[in-house]
Amino acid sequence: MAKIPLLKEVVKLIFSKPATIQYPREETPVEPDARGRQYADLSKCVGCSLCMIECPPKAIRMEKIPEGYEVPKRNARKIYPVVDYFKCIYCYRCVTVCPTKAYVVTNEYRLASDAPVNSRELSLSTLKKASQEPSQGEGVSKQ
């Protein structure tokens, strides 16, 4: 007798929509304001290092801006923050403390990789190269 409710449940589940999605073949819905990877816009960054100092898991390191980029004069030391996305806990403390609102925030969360993943290329893409227009990085600044 107890088998009948169980059978009913099995039949119901066979014909119902799956509770899971076929990621990555299907897109995962993400809130527009979900905290994804962030990176510094170097046209705004002054190289103060405050974001690095305040980062709880020490996911940010300051690096020298490579030769061949037009660095704003206010960044006298020509340094910029590089975020290690594998160490980052996406608390956005860096975004909050930055005195020049230099961080660009995105809801990009797909960061799985065998190689280290960081913000270096995204940040450098915000600077003009010699005789080249700056390219626009991804994401929309919430500031």
Binding positions for ligand SF4, rule: CB under 6 A:
40, 45-51, 55-57, 59-60, 81, 83, 88-94, 98, 100, 102
Q: Of 93 and 128, which has the nearer Cβ to ligand SF4? A: 93
Task: Give the nearest distance from C-beta 68 to ligand SF4 in angstroms.
Answer: 20
Find all residues with CB under 8 Å of 104, minimum gap 6, and list them: 38, 39, 40, 41, 122, 126, 137, 139, 140, 141
Task: Give the nearest distance from C-beta 116 to ligand SF4 in angstroms.
Answer: 14
Task: Give the nearest distance from C-beta 72 to ligand SF4 in angstroms.
Answer: 11
**DSSP at 138:** S
Max intra-chain CA distance, the chain: 82
Q: How far is CA 59 from the centre of its chain?
A: 12
Q: Of 8 and 99, which has the nearer Cβ to ligand SF4? A: 99
Q: Of 8 and 58, which has the nearer Cβ to ligand SF4? A: 58
Tokens of 109: 């969360």
